[in-house]
Every structure is written in structure tokens, then in C-alpha cells.
């Protein structure tokens, strides 16, 4: 490809050709990989003339729109209007109407050439000018509309604050909490998977211990027709909830409905229920085989009684459906159609593999299915309603118990290719590439997550509405939101499908200032603290930019090392951060200490040779010694406790000392893991594996009814609260 054309295409698509890797080394993206990414974005890399025409078409798509679809501006800056006009239009008088979110209208006129000339370009022999005009008014943060009179041309004018939400209490006290995998909660009452009632009970206990929040894995909607597709980070929809978490016994009508009771009291059902509770790993298919028939019976009770006994419930449900709009209806349609097609043929695993007539949501076949299966669609809508109610109830338990933040939700970086989100909005996603990461300490070979990325320009053309809806939905019933791979606000690592491995990609840039502004606006409106997971390859300046907007950093103890390789003191952690010992992608504390992750990695063939493995063992031994030295240096271990890691296994003293050690971090937020308090060994997830290890299935080792009475855990948690309180007082 002609070098000049290649450079123009790369610049237009926002592809980064040079970057610093996770070890700080300059890295250049090969021309081969650059071309592969251009091909993934629809350009004909084998024909320069065709590629030029494709580029021209996309450039004209921007310049021929005088008023762009969206403009994101800060409330503390001068309001500006950008206009794209041809040379002939520059001296015309233009009339506009600005409508604020609260209904106030501001009509005005202007002549483009009276503004500041910002850009000039010539495309297809037509000269275009871009002018900037200051608007002499101020607007409150919110979503406003700007329209050219006598024209359908309209712009979403988004005015944002410069900072995400922070509770006033942050000025006076430090907070701590526990993260958990909701599906992994064991109890004597659940149906083989943790549910929202288990969550409420856990919240109540932890609030009594002094915790301020409970962090959750992503609870996004997955695939009811294919329960084994269980990764919370590969969802069908990030706007809606996983119905597997519904406590069926808490659904309206469960106790009153004789039909439902006959299902759950049958000897075979009770035997299957007991078997599911006893399993150490969640059997998603088995759980849904138990839940779905009873859910359908409870739904039928609602249908039969919505004009009598369930009248108030029916009113709330109708309001929920109205608020959910087309997105809710689409999810219900997808789930119903997916179940219908998958039952016919297991090859129908998702819409990309469905018969042609079902691959478009508006196709005659899909419309006909929706009409003839109204009850099934209503059923899936109703389950979303119940899930939202039960999640809201768990958050209310947290607030009533005195937690400052309550639930702390997690937003996955994308959706899987088979998702309802891509089915309903295919033009937004690049299906010829997937999101991942270049080689870094978490993934030495790089990572390919199998999640199609959003096109930055298409997201812009849609007025950022998909992002707005997404953030708003995930801040519901939560005091904080963790954004997985928060660097995605700036750039994402795109891996073309034809790449040999995850390293064969490049970074594609996104409009970070617009996205940060929208994040701040939704954070303030929903009173949600924002935590950005900023691990891996972190570009220069991004942490500073996130910090300026009040996004909390995510600091993992194992990665917080000094120049000499030792571990930095918790007192030196940044204040605007959440500190944690480990994460769902890392081994538990015992697993780390006993090198269980390295043993598993060897069994699963994750290392290229024995030399690499032995090097990792040696590095781990060195890290363990430095951790032990640090714990002794900070006097969190008994003076007579061994000072050498040789032949030292992890015990309760060492485990709890590590947790108490981080409790005095200067970071505003501290997050510990429930499995570490339970002294568990097996990990939640092993990055780079799928079927090799039962990811996203491992349950906690004890039911909640047992560990709530564990005096050692209670003592640990109360000690953490005391340390946080003392640390918070000394900080003021």
C-alpha cells in the first residue's frame, strides 16, 4: 500500500503504531499488523484506489454534517458551537434553537464566517471549513439539544461536571469492604448458586463487622439457553442482569401458588436441590434446570393474579417495562428466540450462527416469532423485573445496616460476539477483531478476550448513547462502580481475527475526554464512586487524567513494588485509590504462597518450557521473602515468627497478617477477598484458559451459616475496621 495512503488511513482510524509495553520498552506495530487492522475495519488493503474511495466516503460522512451528532463540553468552560460548512455556506445566516434539559429554549442566529476558523479541508473538489463560535450562555450539567431551525439536524449537547462523585464522608473516614463472586456464595437455602438473598445476608453480616461495601463480580445478563457460557466478563448484555441470581423462593406467589409448591416439594426436585447445594463447583445447567420451571410457574401465578392479588406488583412491572423500553424488549426477544433455536439444534449457539432469516432483529421471521411467542417474551421481561427488585433489596439492606457505599458493581469491558447487544446494534461493533491485551505480567503471551470492540466513530455518530445507557444501568442500586480495564476510555488493544496470536494487534484510540465527561456526569447523577481497573500496560499520563476526574485507581499489593524489587509501604499508596491484596485473575493468598498457580499453569501447559517455569518459581521465592521482610518491618507478625520463607507454608497467622498489613493503607478504599478470610487455595479464574479449568464456577468452602459464626474471621474483620478507623483519624 502507498505509504501516504497508509498513514492517512492509520490516522483516520486512530491506530497507534508505536507504544511502550508493560515493561516500559518502546514497541512498533509492524506494517503487516497495521494492514490487518485496517482490513478488519473494512478497508480494501489490496487495492489502493478502492481504499481511497472508502476513506473519502468516511471523511465526507463527517464533513457533510454541519452540526455533529454530539458535543461533550464541561460546565466550567466557555460553551462552544462547531459548524462544518462548505465555502459557499460560510456567509449564510443560520438559525438555531438550544433546548435545555429542563425545557428552557434559547433561539439564536449566527453567520459561520464570523467565528474562528478551526480547520479547512478539500474533499472531492469541495472546500469545507470548520468554524467555532462561543455561545454567551451557561448550562447546568445534563443532556441538552441543539437544533437548526427548519431542519431535522440535531445535536446532543452534553454538559458535564469535571469530577466524579465522592461522598462527603470520604473527607473524614477511610472505608473497607469485601469482594466476592456472587455465584460462589454457599448457603443452606440457595439452589446451588449464590443469589440475591445470599447477598443480602452477607451484606448484613459484613455491615456488623464494620465494612462499608461489598464488591461483586459483573452480574450482567448471560445466556439462559446456554447456562454453561458462564463467564461474567463475556456477557450477552451489560445493561441487564443475570437471572440465575434470582432467589426463586422470594418471587411473588412462590409460597401462595399450589402449582409452584407441588414442583418444589416433589421428592425428585428435593433430591436434585440437595445435590446442587453439595457441589463444590456451580453446575450452571443443573441450576437452571431447577430454576426455570419454577420461575415459569411463579410467572404464571403473576399473570393469573395481576388484576387482583398482584395488582400493585403489576403496576410496578408496567413502569419497569416502560423504563426499559426497546432494550428490554430486545433482550427478551433474544433470550426467547435463542432458547427456541438452540433446542432445535445445538449449533445455534448465537445469532451469528442462526439461520439467515433470524440474524436481523427487524426481519419478517423475527417479527413473526415475537408476535407468536408473546408469553415467552413477557416471561423474560418479568425475570429482569424480579432480578432488579431483588438487587435493589440487597442494596437497601446495605444502606439500612449503615454501609456507606453498599454494593460495589463491576462493569465488564465488552460483550461476546453472540450477544444481544451486537445482534441489536451490529453497525457499532467490529466483528473482525476482538479486544485483548499485549503481553504483560498478567498474560506473558498477550490476551485475546473474544469481545468485538466498538467502532469509535460509530459510537460518536450514535451520540454516545450506548455508553450513557450502559453506565446508567450499572450504577443502579450501587454506591460504587468498578470499570474493568478502564484504559479502554483512552484506547483498546484490537486483535484482528486472522492474527496468529494476541500480540498481532495494535491500540485503537477512543475520545477519552468525551467519555470521561459522560462518566463524571452519570457518576454524579447516580451518586456512584468510580474505580478504574488500571492494571497491565498503562500509558503515560492516563492515571493522572483519571485522577483529575476523580476516578479511583486500583492498586494490587503484589504489583506495588519499589525500584529495588521490594514492596512499598501501604502508607505510600495513593489516597485516591482502592487497595487490594489480590484479584479474581490472581491466585488466592494461600495459592500464591504455595505456588498453586504455577503448578496449575504447568498442568495446563501455559508455559513454553521448563526454564520459564523454574524462573517463575525463583522469582516467586524472592517475592515471598520480600513480603515476609516487609511484614516484619511493619511489626504485623509476632516477633518470634520465622524470618525465612524457606520451608514456610502459609498459615492463619501469616494470611491474616497480610490482610492487617494492607489495612493501614493510605488509600481511601481497601478491598479484601472473602476466600482469603476463609483460607481457600483454588483460584476463581486462570487467565488464558477456557475449558482447561472450571473458571467462574468455584464456590466458597463454607456456607454463610457456618462462616458467619467463625470467630477467627470476625476477629479479623473487626480488627480491619479498627485499623481503618485509626488510620482515618491520623490522616485528617
pLDDT at residue 730 is higher than 80: no
Q: What are phi and psi of 731, to 5 degrees?
A: -75, -25
The residue behind cell 474562528 is 116
Q: Give the pLDDT of residue 276.
A: 98
pLDDT in tens, 595-631: 999 999 898 888 888 998 999 999 999 999 999 999 9
pLDDT in tens, 14-31: 999 999 888 888 999 999
Residues 6+ apart with CB under 8 A from 387: 196, 240, 241, 242, 243, 245, 246
Q: Give the pLDDT of residue 442.
A: 63
Q: What's the whole-number mean pLDDT along residues 648-664?
A: 97
Rounded CA-CA distance 499/270 in Å is: 50
DSSP β-ladder status, 80-86 and 126-134: antiparallel
Helix 3-13 to helix 31-40 angle (10° resolution) is 60
Q: What's the whole-number mean pLDDT along residues 96-101?
A: 95
- Closest by CA position to 239, among listed 419, 35, 99: 419
Maximum Cα–Cα distance across the chain: 86
Helix 311-344 to helix 374-400 angle (10° resolution) is 120
Q: What is the mean pLDDT of the chain?
A: 95
CA 641, 645, 646, 648 torsion-angle sign: positive
pLDDT in tens, 271-286: 999 999 999 999 999 9
Q: What's the whole-number mean pLDDT along residues 458-465?
A: 97
Q: Give the pLDDT of residue 728.
A: 61
pLDDT at residue 184 is higher than 50: yes
Q: Give the pLDDT of residue 501.
A: 87
Q: Give the pLDDT of residue 608.
A: 80
pLDDT at residue 179 is higher than 90: yes
Residues 6+ apart with CB under 8 A from 233: 218, 412, 413, 449, 484
Rounded CA-CA distance 71/208 in Å is: 46
pLDDT at residue 732 is higher than 80: no
Which of the residue ranges 241-245, 260-264, 438-442 would you say has the lowest mean pLDDT? Answer: 438-442
Q: Give the pLDDT of residue 494.
A: 97
The answer to whether residues 728 and 173 touch, using CB atoms and an 8 Å cutoff, is: yes
Say what the pTM is: 0.96
Rounded CA-CA distance 195/187 in Å is: 9
Q: What's the whole-number mean pLDDT along residues 366-382?
A: 98
Q: Give the pLDDT of residue 731.
A: 38
pLDDT at residue 171 is higher than 90: yes
Residue 443 DSSP code: B
pLDDT band at 729 (very low <50, low <70, confident <90, very high): very low
The answer to whether residues 261 and 255 touch, using CB atoms and an 8 Å cutoff, is: yes
The residue behind cell 427488585 is 389
Q: Give the pLDDT of residue 136.
A: 87
Q: What's the whole-number mean pLDDT along residues 237-248?
A: 98
pLDDT-above-70 percentage for the chain: 99
The residue behind cell 503471551 is 445
Amino acid at each position: 500500500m502507498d505509504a501516504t495512503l497508509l498513514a492517512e488511513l492509520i490516522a483516520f482510524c486512530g491506530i497507534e503504531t508505536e507504544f511502550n509495553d508493560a515493561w516500559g520498552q518502546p514497541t512498533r506495530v509492524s506494517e503487516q499488523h497495521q494492514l490487518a487492522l485496517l482490513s478488519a475495519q473494512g478497508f480494501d488493503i489490496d487495492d489502493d484506489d478502492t481504499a481511497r474511495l472508502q476513506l473519502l466516503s468516511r471523511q465526507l460522512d463527517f464533513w457533510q454534517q454541519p452540526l455533529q451528532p454530539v458535543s461533550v463540553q464541561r460546565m466550567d468552560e466557555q460553551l462552544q458551537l462547531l459548524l462544518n460548512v462548505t465555502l459557499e455556506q460560510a456567509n449564510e445566516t443560520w438559525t438555531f434553537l438550544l433546548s435545555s434539559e429542563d425545557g428552557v429554549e434559547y433561539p439564536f442566529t449566527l453567520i459561520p464566517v464570523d467565528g474562528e476558523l478551526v480547520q479547512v479541508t478539500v474533499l472531492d473538489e469541495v472546500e469545507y471549513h470548520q468554524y467555532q463560535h462561543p455561545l454567551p450562555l451557561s448550562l447546568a450539567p445534563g443532556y441538552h439539544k441543539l437544533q437548526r431551525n427548519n431542519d431535522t439536524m440535531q445535536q446532543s449537547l452534553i454538559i458535564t461536571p469535571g469530577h466524579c462523585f465522592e461522598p462527603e464522608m470520604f473527607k473524614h473516614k477511610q472505608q473497607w469492604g469485601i469482594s466476592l463472586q456472587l455465584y460462589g456464595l454457599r448457603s443452606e437455602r440457595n439452589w446451588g448458586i449464590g443469589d440475591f438473598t445470599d447477598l443480602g445476608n452477607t451484606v448484613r453480616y459484613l455491615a456488623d463487622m464494620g465494612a462499608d461495601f461489598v464488591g461483586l463480580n459483573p452480574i450482567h445478563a448471560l445466556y439462559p439457553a446456554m447456562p454453561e457460557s458462564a463467564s461474567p466478563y463475556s456477557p450477552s448484555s451489560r445493561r441487564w442482569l443475570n437471572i440465575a441470581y434470582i432467589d426463586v423462593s422470594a418471587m411473588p406467589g412462590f409460597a401462595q401458588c399450589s402449582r409452584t409448591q407441588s414442583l418444589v416439594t416433589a421428592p425428585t426436585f428435593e433430591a436434585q436441590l440437595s445435590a446442587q447445594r453439595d457441589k463444590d463447583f456451580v453446575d450452571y445447567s443443573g441450576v437452571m434446570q431447577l430454576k426455570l420451571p419454577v420461575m415459569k410457574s411463579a410467572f404464571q401465578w403473576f399473570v393469573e393474579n395481576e388484576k387482583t392479588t398482584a395488582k400493585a406488583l403489576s403496576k410496578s412491572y408496567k413502569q419497569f417495562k416502560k423504563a426499559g423500553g426497546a432494550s428490554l424488549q430486545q433482550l427478551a426477544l433474544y433470550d426467547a428466540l435463542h432458547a427456541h433455536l438452540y433446542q432445535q439444534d445445538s449449533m445455534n449457539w448465537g445469532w451469528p450462527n442462526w439461520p439467515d432469516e433470524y440474524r436481523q432483529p427487524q426481519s419478517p421471521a423475527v417479527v413473526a416469532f415475537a408476535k407468536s411467542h408473546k408469553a415467552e417474551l413477557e416471561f423474560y421481561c418479568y425475570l429482569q423485573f424480579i432480578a432488579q427488585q431483588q438487587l435493589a433489596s440487597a442494596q437497601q439492606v446495605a444502606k439500612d445496616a449503615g454501609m456507606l457505599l453498599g454494593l460495589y458493581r463491576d462493569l465488564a469491558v465488552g460483550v461476546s460476539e453472540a450477544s444481544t447487544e451486537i445482534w441489536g446494534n451490529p453497525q457499532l461493533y467490529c466483528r473482525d477483531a476482538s479486544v485483548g491485551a499485549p503481553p504483560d505480567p498478567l498474560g506473558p503471551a498477550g490476551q485475546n478476550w473474544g469481545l468485538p470492540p466498538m467502532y469509535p466513530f460509530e459510537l460518536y455518530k450514535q451520540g454516545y448513547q450506548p455508553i450513557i445507557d450502559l453506565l446508567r444501568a450499572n450504577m443502579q442500586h450501587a454506591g460504587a462502580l468498578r470499570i474493568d480495564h478502564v484504559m479502554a476510555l483512552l484506547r483498546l488493544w484490537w486483535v484482528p481475527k486472522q492474527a496468529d496470536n494476541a500480540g498481532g494487534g495494535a491500540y485503537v484510540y477512543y475520545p477519552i475526554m468525551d467519555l470521561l465527561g459522560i462518566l463524571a456526569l452519570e457518576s454524579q447523577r447516580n451518586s456512584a464512586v468510580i474505580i478504574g481497573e488500571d492494571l497491565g500496560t498503562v500509558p503515560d499520563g492516563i492515571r493522572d487524567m483519571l485522577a483529575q476526574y476523580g476516578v479511583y485507581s486500583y492498586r494490587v499489593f503484589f504489583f506495588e513494588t519499589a525500584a529495588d524489587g521490594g514492596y512499598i509501604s501501604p502508607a505510600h499508596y495513593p489516597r485516591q485509590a482502592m487497595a487490594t491484596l489480590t484479584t479474581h485473575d490472581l491466585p488466592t493468598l494461600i495459592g500464591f504462597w504455595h505456588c498453586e498457580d504455577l503448578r496449575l499453569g504447568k498442568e495446563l501447559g501455559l508455559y513454553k518450557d521448563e526454564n520459564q517455569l523454574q524462573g517463575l518459581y525463583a522469582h516467586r521465592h524472592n517475592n515471598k521473602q520480600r513480603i515476609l521482610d516487609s511484614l516484619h518491618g511493619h511489626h504485623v507478625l509476632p516477633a518470634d515468627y520465622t524470618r525465612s520463607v524457606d520451608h514456610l507454608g502459609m498459615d492463619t497467622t501469616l494470611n491474616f497478617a497480610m490482610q492487617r498489613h494492607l489495612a493501614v493503607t493510605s488509600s481511601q478504599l481497601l478491598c479484601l477477598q472473602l476466600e482469603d478470610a476463609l483460607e481457600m487455595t483454588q483460584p476463581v479464574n486462570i487467565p488464558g484458559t477456557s475449558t482447561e479449568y472450571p473458571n467462574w464456577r468455584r464456590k466458597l468452602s463454607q456456607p454463610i451459616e457456618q462462616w458467619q459464626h467463625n470467630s477467627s474471621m470476625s476477629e479479623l474483620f473487626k480488627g480491619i475496621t479498627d485499623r481503618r478507623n485509626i488510620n482515618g483519624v491520623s490522616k485528617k
